[in-house]
Chain A
Amino acid sequence: MNARKNQSAGGLALQLFLLLLLLVGLGALVGSEGFAGLQIQADFSLITDIRLPRTLGACLAGALLGLAGALAQGLFRNPLADPYLLGSASGASLGVAIGMVLLSQLNMSPWFMRMGITGMAFMGAWLAVALSLVLSWGVQHTLRLLLAGVVVGVVFGAMASLLLIMFPQIQGSVQSFMLGSTAYVGWSACGLMLAVLVVSWLVSVAASPLLDGLALGESTALSLGLPVKSLRWLMLAVLALCTAAAVAQTGLIAFVGLAAPHLVRGRVKAVHGKTLSLSCLMGAVLLGGADLLARGLMAPLELPVGVLTAILGGGYMLFLMRGMSTKSVGQAGGRS
């Protein structure tokens, strides 16, 4: 398919890293006046307290989603898999809705409310994944697991919608959670996401031979002596952790988890140890860039960042798809 030669993994890593540095730098400078007011301002605390953590937070959440997406697509051997596929999105929404209902009845400080909502989103996402695993009787049967994830997602989503109808006062805040936002990310959230990212990245790279083996089918992976079952549990746990950590801080950011691994694999053909790391970087650049544009494009009005990730990522994926022949899109079974 490719007239373009495959890029080296190191080259792409360097490009993405430089892009990321640029984004963080710009992110610290762009304020509510948008790109027009681009200058180093005297008010240093504005940069260190608000813009920098927000920009870094967007990049970290993007990295988590990129990693989760690459894990999901490798584990389920499905290019349509995304971090939310085991019901974690609906679970987080339900958690947030329940949290909003509970907290709106009590009188809490905004800070505690924010922490409480984050915790509820985190727990909801985890609960949904755990329930999917229970309903599918474990990890052996990936199709059963996917279907269980769909069921859990639909049921939890319906329950969240029910809460929205019963308590209309929470509608606005739950809706903005579902669109995703990087506006409230502070230093503590950054620290948390960074810790989760480092641990998850190390674990997934260490377990990545499993994904390489699985790319040739489960039988081949088993025959190569890989402890398929335990590694699969481990990776699912990492997938759930990454997704929950990102979702809890920034809401349901669309498309980054699905697009980042594709954008990487469109350029680099390599073992999963490399594509997982590159997907982290790609996710960070995608969400970091989207966050910057969300703030700058229509300043002082701020666009929901989730809308931008969908437009940007979707647009670029369409561009990538043009270069694919039917052969590389199709699977082995349908090949003549």
Chain B
Amino acid sequence: MNASSKTALKASNISVLHGEFKAVNQVSLELHSGEWVALVGPNGAGKSSLLKALAGLIPADGQVELMGKPWGLWQRRERAKTLAWLGQAEAGQDDLTVYDVTMLGRLPHQAWLASPSAQDRAVVEVALKTVQAWDWRSRSLGQLSGGERQRVLLARALAVQADVYLMDEPLAGVDLPHQADWLEWVRCLTEQGAAVVSVLHELNLALQADRVWVMSAGSLVHDGLPNSSDTHQALSAVFQNRLQWREWQDGDQTRWVALPK
């Protein structure tokens, strides 16, 4: 992340109501181009609701600006090209092929009902090769394991070629080698100037991010660097003080891991 980077996503006073229950309470935040932020917190803290509100997928109070432009001023398709969403795997029909699913990421770029252009095909091929799914692109989604499926959904999001990626538990069910790959892809995305927010349950992956947002009971209680002791304290607090911290050396960098206590 460099200091001169511009604001990709800015939210002020976001609140989300689920019936009577306030899932997200007056959250304000700012995300810069070229940075990866991990959104963490206990179950039911409102992480998914906040992410959905930021992506405009559920009704919410407050203002969101995408690339400096207020949400309401965006045209739907332009917005879909700029902000990509990767949700938690939802149950559904599994009959689409891996290739078709990934091509859906190109939908915002295509004229309605137009067949995919050479560029669309090229982008899809790169995305599928990135997640190492190109070889089984003609298999259907229903024939995949949970982790393979998640990688295909990631390829679908990558195919959008967006400026902002919002990912809700992108690593659910993904095995360790592919988690490591995912870290590389995210760094690659941010190096190209994209901004990424990911909800992560695996704290030690979250600690690899550029920044960590900690949520608890609908509020954003901390916004800090992964290596700062403030962040560690905030994390310990929201996880009932059931964390113990260990230091390790990553080259010349000092990093931390959180272990259950």
Contact = CB atoms under 8 A, between A and B. Distances in A.
Interface stretch (A103-111, A217-225, A237-245, A312-320): A217-225
Given A6-B138, A216-B90, A216-B156, A223 B84 contact: yes
A214 to B, nearest CB: 7
Contacts of A6: 138, 140
Interface string A202-234: 000010010011111111101111110000000
A77 B91 contact: yes
Nearest to A223: B85
B57 A225 contact: no
B91 to A, nearest CB: 4
B200 to A, nearest CB: 18
Interface string B153-187: 10010001000000000000000000000000000
A146 to B, nearest CB: 15
B55 A215 contact: no
B137 to A, nearest CB: 11
Given A217-B92, A269-B95, A212 B87 contact: no
Contact of A206 (B94, B104, B113, B138): B113
A215 B87 CA distance: 13
Interface residues of A, number: 36
A219 B85 contact: yes
Interface in B186-234: none
B142 A224 contact: no
Contacts of B57: 219, 222-223
B107 A335 contact: no
Contacts of A206: 112-113
B108 interface: yes
Interface stretch (A163-171, A294-302, A303-311, A326-334): A326-334
A264 to B, nearest CB: 9
Contact of A225 (B76, B140, B146): B76
Contacts of A2: 143
Given A1-B143, A225-B108, A227-B76, A332 B94 contact: yes
B93 A74 contact: yes
B116 to A, nearest CB: 11
Contacts of A275: 95
B87 A219 contact: yes
B100 A224 contact: no
Contact of A224 (B80, B93, B145): B80
B10 interface: no
A217 B87 contact: yes
A333 B145 CA distance: 11
Contacts of B105: 224
Contacts of A222: 56-57, 85
Contact of A333 (B91, B107, B140, B160): B91
A265 B92 contact: no
A125 B57 CA distance: 33
A304 B160 CA distance: 52
A222 B52 CA distance: 11
A67 to B, nearest CB: 16
Given A223-B83, A269-B95, 4 more contacts: A223-B57, A224-B105, A332-B90, A335-B146
13 contacts: A77-B92, A213-B107, A219-B52, A219-B90, A220-B104, A224-B105, A225-B80, A225-B81, A225-B108, A270-B97, A331-B91, A332-B94, A333-B89
